[in-house]
Amino acid sequence: MKYVAVTGGVISGLGKGITASSIARILKARGVTVTPLKIDPYLNVDAGTMNPYQHGEVFVLDDGTEVDLDLGNYERFLGENLAGNHNITTGKVYRSVIDKERHGDYLGNTVQIIPHVTGEVKRMIREVGESSGAEVAIIEVGGTVGDIESMPFLEALREMQQEVGRREDMAFIHTTLVPVLGAVGEAKTKPTQHSVREMRALGIQPDMIIARSEKPISQDIKTKISLFCGVPPEAVVSVPDVACIYDVPLNLEKEGVGDYLVKRLGLTNRPAEWGTWKTFTTRYHEATGEVNLAIVGKYSGLKDSYLSHSEALHHTQGQVGVRVNVHWFDAEPFGTPNASLAPLEKMDGILIPGGYGKRGVEGKIRAIEYAREQKVPLLGICLGFQLAAVEVARHLLDQPDANSTEFDPATKHAVVGLLKEQGAIKDLGGTQHLGAQKVLLTEGSRVATLYGRKEILERHRHRYEIEPGYITPFTEKGYRATGFSPDGRVEALELEGHPYFLGVQYHPEFLSRPEAPHPLFVGLVQAAIQHHNGGEVPSHG
């Protein structure tokens, strides 16, 4: 088993996750099997209870684990599904160590950071690597070098480097910032030098430096970094900002990262295969025409809160060949009766994502009402799906006080209520249905046509559901339930006579990939294209 550790310095947010994902994809393109891991130094056991404004979206895996959004990047870049043990947190590590101490596993020894906590970190990393059967494990360490929270993890990796025995079995890649300052645009290497010195003080010598900057850095700057940081010149890699993150693996390939890593790790250097990836990026950049898509959410101030949604739309652009302009709208200002919805008039489609809490709910409902009345294509996901049902009940069933019991426990018309079977809910950060679950689609429905099959497996993250008593009155108004769980929960609703008014309880954005865009997002964009061109998508059912 070989290991590649990706660390960060200077500032956070430099793109360690994209770097780790790109390196994994570069190795995969050469036929090397890889498995990624993300280390998050926070004390939370998982990301499930974290505010999206603090840490971006919560990504959900097939097994129901709520994890850091970087695991979404890993899945998208590799086209593979991961499990919860691919995300290691301080909370997980300390909980395991304390459980073992209570169980007596340490035989009365004083439990310490070294060797017990670092030993647990190494055990978790090796367990994932060895159980995957992969040749290389890519380990991303969250935070920046110097953070007190990251120290035990960096120490564990230093120990691993010593224990693997052979130099070619472990490599360190350090991501740093090379800022450009002053009117002459001089690139500054001091932050990188200090960051690498901090790594060396911990006993770790980077093998490669990913130099992040707004623009490509010159060969002179690369040579200077090489000299002061003790890495070969060919291992100083310029990674400037890009418009599309899916260009990064190809850019790193051009910089020689693949050849260098294969040599450094003692792997067989096979020709890289980039066929479908290049096809996607070419279509993405050569997209002609445009459509305008609105995402109306409550966390729109931080776009990472809806990262998987925006990425799914990027994937769709690479397939349909039409530029998808994403416009972000805070739902809250739309929520008052006299608030103007004029900003939505230029939109060719509307996406209502999930969320928790009452804030912004009425604004989302008004946006849904606008989409229904004006025949604007709409996709509602999770809470967006539930609120679409509330909107239909209010305005088509003449129940103006219809609501979800999440927002009005005393409502006389509870369209949405708590999940009935609490025993089916996993204890993973909250009382929710989580993870991949089977959904049965109605033959001939729009949703079944989009998928091309009647049985699907989709990821869930919710604690409320559509009340089954509404199925019949909805059907009478042409609002048909066209997707169900095996035990009868409503999973999809679509409105007849509308170009595209579709809601789903699950989260399709988590399964969209660059080389395989999710069909519901493709359907939304195709409907938006026809709306932009003045046409309509044929109604199904």
Instruction: Give per-residue pLDDT as tens, 218-242.
Output: 999 999 999 999 999 999 999 999 9
Question: Residue 306: its pLDDT value, please?
Answer: 94
Instruction: Give per-residue pLDDT as tens, 71-89.
Output: 999 999 999 999 999 999 9
Q: How confident is the model over 284-297, as a mean pLDDT?
A: 96
Q: How confident is the model over 242-248, as a mean pLDDT?
A: 95
CA distance 314 to 296: 17
- Average predicted confidence (pLDDT) for the chain: 93
Name the token pair of 104: 């007596």
Q: In this structure, are residues 160 and 122 in contact, taking their beta carbons and an 8 Å threshold? A: yes
Catalytic residue (one of 57, 66, 467, 509)? 509
Question: Between 13 and 249, whose confidence is greater?
Answer: 249
Question: Residue 535: its pLDDT value, please?
Answer: 66
Q: How confident is the model over 122-151, as a mean pLDDT?
A: 95
Give me the percent of the chain exceeding a pLDDT of 90: 88
DSSP letter at 124 equals H
- pLDDT for residue 430 is more than 60: no
Other CB atoms within 10 Å distance of the CB of residue 20: 26
Question: Residue 357: its pLDDT value, please?
Answer: 87
Question: Residue 540: its pLDDT value, please?
Answer: 37
Q: Is 437 strand, coil or helix?
A: strand
Q: How confident is the model over 383-403, as a mean pLDDT?
A: 97
CA dihedral 448, 451, 454, 456 (to 10 degrees): -130
Q: What is the largest CA-CA distance in the chain?
A: 75
Question: Between 288 and 539, whose confidence is greater?
Answer: 288
Would you place residue 451 in the very low, low, confident or very high pLDDT band (cuts 50, 70, 90)? Answer: very high
CA distance 254 to 203: 31
Instruction: Give per-residue pLDDT as tens, 93-119.
Output: 999 999 999 999 999 899 999 999 999
Q: Which domains does the chain have, with CATH numbers?
A: 2-273 (3.40.50.300), 288-532 (3.40.50.880)
pTM of the model: 0.94
Instruction: Give per-residue pLDDT as tens, 161-215.
Output: 999 988 899 999 999 999 988 767 789 999 999 999 999 999 999 999 999 999 9
Question: Residue 299: its pLDDT value, please?
Answer: 85
Q: Is 382 a catalytic residue?
A: yes
Instruction: Give per-residue pLDDT as tens, 33-75.
Output: 999 999 999 999 988 888 777 778 999 999 999 999 999 999 9
Q: How confident is the model over 274-291, as a mean pLDDT?
A: 96
Cα distances (angstroms) measured from residue 276 to each of 79, 436, 513:
12, 27, 12
Name the token pair of 413: 């018309």
Q: Is 285 a catalytic residue?
A: no
455: which strand partners? 440
- pLDDT for residue 315 is more than 90: yes
* Residue pointed to by tokens 């120990």: 159
- pLDDT for residue 425 is more than 50: no
Q: Is 509 a catalytic residue?
A: yes
- pLDDT for residue 136 is more than 60: yes
Q: What is the CA radius of gyration of the chain?
A: 25
Cα distances (angstroms) measured from residue 162 to each of 148, 204, 487:
22, 10, 53
Neighbouring residues of 409: CB distance < 8 A, sequence distance ≥ 6: none
Question: Residue 431: its pLDDT value, please?
Answer: 60
Catalytic residue (one of 382, 491, 494, 540)? 382
CA distance 74 to 24: 8
Question: Between 517 and 432, whose confidence is greater?
Answer: 517
Between strands 208-213 and 2-8, the pairing is unpaired
Instruction: Give per-residue pLDDT as tens, 326-379.
Output: 999 999 999 988 899 999 999 999 999 998 889 999 999 999 999 999 999 999
Catalytic residue (one of 309, 314, 460, 507)? 507
**Residues 293-332, buried b or exposed e (16+ Cβ, 10 A)?**
bbbbbbbbebbebbbbbbbbbbbbbbbbebebebebbbbb
Question: Residue 539: its pLDDT value, please?
Answer: 41
